[in-house]
Structure 1
Amino acid sequence: MMEMMRATRALGAFVRGVGLGDVDDAGVDALYQALIEHQVLFLPGQYLEPADQAAFGRRFGELGQRHHSYVTHPDSEDVVVLDWQPGDRPDAAEWHSDMTFTQEPPFASILQAMLLPPVGGDTLWASMYSVHDSLDSGFRRDLETLSATHDPGAFRNGPFASGGTESMNEMLSNVGSAVWPIISHHPVTGRPYINVSESNTRWIIGVGAPESHRILSMLFASTNRPDHHVRLRWEPGTVAIWDNRATQHYAVSDYAGHRRMMHRVAVARDTRLTSVS
């Protein structure tokens, strides 16, 4: 029997009584509905092999393209290996939704803890529904007409370190950027959410630099409020599944001197949404 326990008022639920490697179709449908409701699901004790993790991801939709900055697992090109060695500087300690600088960001991510530091390395998620709903109604009306640019942000660092400005500009040209409404609407629920992140949002279209900076700073500060968060202390074999469309996440980099390795599968398209539309 699948059991679900809500994690916080804003978002998140712990799911027990289901194995992702052999869950039936009804179970996958139930997980999808729970994902739409809770935005992020935590499933301990899964221990999926790379091929099994990718196979489970395909039951949610078409898998996404490989991220330009990460390596994939030798047993499955659909599984990104996030392996931070002692002395590395992790690049996900910023609030972000995955790959919003692309024209089609992944709809969901499936992340499994493989190797963890003795303490630290937690991940937080923020409900951008909750952020939206916390804003003053007049401010929300002002935001409804505005859109903002998203670009690769700190992913400039690697190309610049390896090849200077030319290499960095080549990466930016290849990866590109995207523009999204600041108040976007979830394609399944229709609910409005704030679609800017401190990691990737650079500019509000049609306003000057001071005004853009002020508005974005206010929204980033709102995202940082713990009222909108859930925090997971990982254990080996725990899987987190999140809806990338109305959440952001932040991987805490407080484990200097230790290794942390995760396996991630990105689901590009929500096939249930496609079949309905």
Structure 2
Amino acid sequence: MAHLEARKHISPDSGFPITLHPHFNDKIKNHNPPEPPREPITPPKDRALYADPEKKSLFSVAKRVDLTESVGTVLENVQLSQLTGDQLDELALLVNERGVVFFREQDLTTEKQVELFQHYGSREDHREILSYTPWKPYNVQPSGDFHADTSFEINPPSYSLLRMEEHPEVGGDTAWVSQYGLYDALSNAYKKFLDGLHAVHTSRLQYDTILDLWGAGPNRPPIDTHHPAVRTHPVTKLKALNVNPGFVTGFAELKKLESDKILDFLAYHIHSADDHYVRWKWAVGSVAMWDNRYLKQVLFTATYLCALRCTLHRVIPGTYKGLRRGIRTTVFGERPYLDPTSESRAERKLREDGENSAT
């Protein structure tokens, strides 16, 4: 890492590198992104809204195995490449309900994966080739915490799918945390407080780090976007926490010190959410499809290289041997919003249980 500008300036007092403000780094200051910021889009109607709520077509060909009570489901005895349009719609609904759905031993090719995912999105569809190498001590990483991919976009992602093509036998797991569950776990007073806030999502921190770490810049300028700290899911109509430490730097309505304290608490809250957390052990041919609107994702990886769409994942130490290489496809969704009349997952269950007992 000695090639990094931030590592070249050594303090005579401590013998350790001095932290430089990005504007003192010519590589960062002089970078001119080749593409403009993304324009807002109106995505097509979510395919999950076309699905049979009971998912009869999908479950006629797939066995459902829930991994935890809150988040994560495996579908067994099924090939994604063979699903019909109706079954793909029902899969989208299941992903919205369960957060992330896993598949093993899939026969998808890259071309078929891209074709399949065009079912879910607009012309913003794209593919990424992701390559991971084992973690090394003291690596400087772009992002070291939970995040939802590119949540700073005006239209953040809706669905993502990652298919693993190369993977070591041990290590490199991925974990997801449910933001339905994270919101439910808060006190009613704290929920009400967060309901009134807008989180400031930014790409600036990773923008600077990518330039210094890789020597090649992001394709688009940095962006700052205000999204509701609690959002309503457009399919399930449930409330979910919409704050992730990877990209959120504060809250628009609060002073900096107030924001910092809340972010500290939410970071603790996220990391202690064992009851709303699922961990997936990858193998070649494994696939995960997740709701990128409300799931915080962490890749148990190291250096992250991709087609620079500025999507980074938390780095967890691991000394596994061999490469991890996968193909990810993503589509972009609606601009986040909060419907004040929406309810949380726990509130809905309590209401439905009461209605059922009354009848």
Q: TM-score range by the shorter chain?
A: 0.7 to 0.9
Report what 2:190 is aligned to: 139
Which is worse superposed, 194-203 or 18-27? 18-27
Report what 2:70 is aligned to: 10
Secondary structure of the structure 2 residue equivalent to 1:230: strand
- The answer on 1:20 being equivalent to 2:71 is no
Which residue type is aligned with residue 268 of structure 2?
Answer: A
Q: What fraction of aligned residue pairs are identical, expressed as a percent?
A: 26
Report what 1:275 is aligned to: none
Q: Structure 1: give runs of 5+ residues left out of the alignment.
A: 66-77, 271-277
1:227 to 256, 275, 280: 275
Report what 1:44 is aligned to: 104
Distance in 2, matches of 1:155 and 1:248, equals 20
Q: Structure 2: give runs of 5+ residues left out of the alignment.
A: 1-60, 302-316, 335-359
CA displacement 1:54-110 (0-9 Å, x = unmatched):
011111222636xxxxxxxxxxxx320111235675656520101111101110100
Once the two structures are superposed, the pairs formed by residues 102-181 of structure 1 within 5 Å of their partners are: 102-152=153-203, 153-161=205-213, 174-181=221-228
Structure 1 residues 5 and 144: CA distance shift in structure 2, 3 A:
same
RMSD, aligned α-carbons: 2.2
Which residue type is aligned with residue 82 of structure 1?
Answer: L
Deviation at 1:154, TM superposition (A): 2.8
Which is worse superposed, 132-141 or 250-259? 250-259
Which is worse superposed, 121-130 or 184-193? 184-193
- The answer on 1:267 being equivalent to 2:318 is no
- The answer on 1:56 being equivalent to 2:116 is yes
Structure 1 residues 43 and 92: CA distance shift in structure 2, 3 A:
farther
Task: State the TM-score, normalized to the length of structure 1.
Answer: 0.84
Distance in 2, matches of 1:157 and 1:87, equals 17
Which is worse superposed, 27-36 or 38-47? 27-36
Structure 1 residues 91 and 41: CA distance shift in structure 2, 3 A:
farther
8 A Cα contact 2:164 2:327, kept in partner: yes
Task: State the TM-score, normalized to the length of structure 2.
Answer: 0.66
Deviation at 1:181, TM superposition (A): 0.9
Secondary structure of the structure 2 residue equivalent to 1:21: helix
Secondary structure of the structure 2 residue equivalent to 1:28: helix
Name segments (4+ residues, structure 1) moved above 6 Å: none
Report what 1:80 is aligned to: 128
Distance in 1, matches of 2:127 and 2:100, equals 19
Distance in 1, matches of 2:143 and 2:209, equals 13
Of structures 1 and 2, the larger Rg is shown by: 2
Distance in 2, matches of 1:57 and 1:190, equals 23
8 A Cα contact 1:92 1:251, kept in partner: no
Higher RCO structure (Cα 8 Å, ≥6 apart): 1
Report what 2:241 is aligned to: 194
Distance in 1, matches of 2:135 and 2:96, equals 37
Structure 1 residues 53 and 91: CA distance shift in structure 2, 3 A:
farther
CA displacement 1:30-56 (0-9 Å, x = unmatched):
212211221110011113211111011
Query: Which structure carries more strand by proportion?
Result: 1
Aligned length: 253
8 A Cα contact 1:11 1:228, kept in partner: yes
8 A Cα contact 1:93 1:251, kept in partner: no
Secondary structure of the structure 1 residue equivalent to 2:177: strand
Secondary structure of the structure 1 residue equivalent to 2:176: strand
Distance in 2, matches of 1:172 and 1:132, equals 34
- The answer on 1:242 being equivalent to 2:294 is no
8 A Cα contact 1:129 1:194, kept in partner: yes
